[in-house]
Every structure is written in structure tokens, then in C-alpha cells.
Amino acid sequence: MTQSASEIKALLASRGLRPRHRFGQNFLIDNAKVDLLLDASGAGPGDLVLEVGPGTGVLTEALVERGVEVVACELDRDLASLVRDRLGSGITMIEGDCLGPNRVLSKAVSEAIGDRPFRLISNLPYDVASSVMATLAMHWSTCIGQYVTIQKEVADRLTAEPGVKAWGPLSIHIRRTSTVRRLAVLRPGCFWPQPGVTSAMVSIEPHRPTCADAEAFARFVTQLFSNRRKQLGSTLDRAVVESLGIDAARRAETLSIEELEQLAAAVAH
């Protein structure tokens, strides 16, 4: 069951705690949206799930009730202790940052997951959401799906198409290997305390294996989009661009993933 705002307040008050703005703590209190996210994930008995930022354990408890094995990572040690005390041996709790150097999953999280297939199911802290989603899509072949709540602005980037402002490196890094689907839009009232932005739930499901050249391709795309409004002929070798049948007058923001892959391979050689 979802925790109501009054129940969350009582849980926090029992330990002398308050939501910490610096950790982006906005707790999901909409029961229907919790069920929507879990149903979309298909997670069930015996499945392994990574949850980043469990907060007071709204999703965590619902996952445990479904027989899911949960690895939870919480930066706020007070909340980590609260959730551990409430759910006990039903979860593996990791205290600390879910990301290590270079914005990849931390050693503790990686070791807890091991080489087993898993899903990410999280109300993701906004400051790490993009990095977590991208590193899983780009590098973790054992991640069989991501089902997350994020800022609507980020969801718009994930679902964007070439030629629009929202299309950029994040869209490309994730969509190169995965299909993104918007599940719901969440108004601020779905959370306590209410955030200052609208949120969205999305599913990210792999449609091809992770790519061996993921890092090199990411660097190429990021560099190219640093000049997204310039013509390709002024940022890349015009002859190379035109040899691929791509108009050198086009701009990076108009390119499809397939065209970007062709350019990256051509430039590398």
C-alpha cells in the first residue's frame, strides 16, 4: 500500500526527520501511479530489482509484497535506516551514492546486482536520473528494463525525435539500444512535499544488445551536439559527410541514430 502524506510525516517525525531538499526528497503518495509503474514492469516473485532512492519505502514495500528481491540504494543514511528497520531481511540496503567515478554504478551496487538479470524500478532522484538511466542502457546488458519516475522535461527528451529541441545526447544514448514509452504524467500533487515541476513515468526496454563502442559513440555525439546548430560541413570533414549521402548543410540535431552511427564509424576511420 502507498503511504499517505500523513503516514510519511508520522514516519519521519518518529525519528526527528524532515524531507531534505538537497536530496530532492519528494515522496510518491498516489497509489494508482505506484500500481501503474509496478504493473508495467512485470516484476514478480523471484525477480531482482534495483531501486535508487527508496525514500521512506513506498515502492520498496510494494515490491516486497509482490515477492520481488530488492537491492535498494539510499544516499540519506537516516532514511536507509528507516527502511531497513521496517522491511528487515526483505531487502538488501546499500547506504551511499548509487554512482561511482565517471557517473557509472558504484562498486557496492554493481556487486549487489552481480551478473543476474534485473530491472530498475525507482522514483529516481532528479539529480542522478539521467546518469543512471544512460549507464544502464549503454553498459548493462543484464538490465532487462527500467521503469522510473523522472522530471517530465527529461521524459520529453527521452521520447523526442530528430529535428526538435529536446533531441540530444541523452535521447540518443538511451534510444540507441532501448525503446522508451511514456506511462503517465504526474502532477505535483502526486507527491509530498510537492515538487516545483511536473513528473512523468516512463519505461525503457532494450531492443538490441549494449554496444561495444558505447563510450566512443557517446563522446562523438556529445562533441557533435556541442555545436548542434552548426552545419555538419563546418564541424566535420565535408567530404566524409557527403560520402555517406548526408547533406553537409544539415545540423546535428536533425540526424537520426543510424546516421550518427554512420558518421561516428566514418570519422573513426
Q: Looking at the structure, do residues 196 and 229 belong to the same domain, yes or no? A: no
Give the C-alpha distances (Å, rounded to integers) separating 49 from 85, 157, 244, 266: 19, 25, 42, 39
CA distance 253 to 161: 9
Q: Looking at the structure, do residues 179 and 118 belong to the same domain, yes or no? A: yes
Q: Looking at the structure, do residues 82 and 161 belong to the same domain, yes or no? A: yes
The whole-number pLDDT of residue 122 equals 97
Q: Looking at the structure, do residues 158 and 27 belong to the same domain, yes or no? A: yes
38-59 pLDDT, tens per residue?
999 999 999 999 999 999 999 9
| CATH code, domain carrying 198 | 3.40.50.150
185-238 pLDDT, tens per residue?
999 999 999 999 999 999 999 999 999 999 999 999 999 999 888 999 999 999
Q: Looking at the 3D structure of the chain, how many domains does it have?
A: 2
Last residue of a domain, one of 153, 182, 206: 206
What is the percent of the chain with per-residue pLDDT over 70, rounded to a whole number?
99
Q: Looking at the structure, do residues 111 and 242 belong to the same domain, yes or no? A: no
The whole-number pLDDT of residue 1 equals 53
Last residue of a domain, one of 160, 187, 206: 206
Ranges of the chain whose pLDDT falls below 70: 1-2
Q: Looking at the structure, do residues 189 and 263 belong to the same domain, yes or no? A: no
Q: Looking at the structure, do residues 16 and 32 belong to the same domain, yes or no? A: yes
Q: Looking at the structure, do residues 224 and 100 belong to the same domain, yes or no? A: no
The whole-number pLDDT of residue 2 equals 66
Q: Looking at the structure, do residues 163 and 127 belong to the same domain, yes or no? A: yes
The whole-number pLDDT of residue 192 equals 93
Regarding pTM above 0.85, the answer is: yes
Last residue of a domain, one of 182, 206, 230: 206
72 phi, psi to nearest 5 deg: -110, 140
Q: Looking at the structure, do residues 185 and 219 belong to the same domain, yes or no? A: no
Q: Looking at the structure, do residues 99 and 196 belong to the same domain, yes or no? A: yes
Q: Which domain holds residue 246?
A: 214-268
CA distance 163 to 160: 9
Q: Looking at the structure, do residues 107 and 225 belong to the same domain, yes or no? A: no
| CATH code, domain carrying 255 | 1.10.8.100
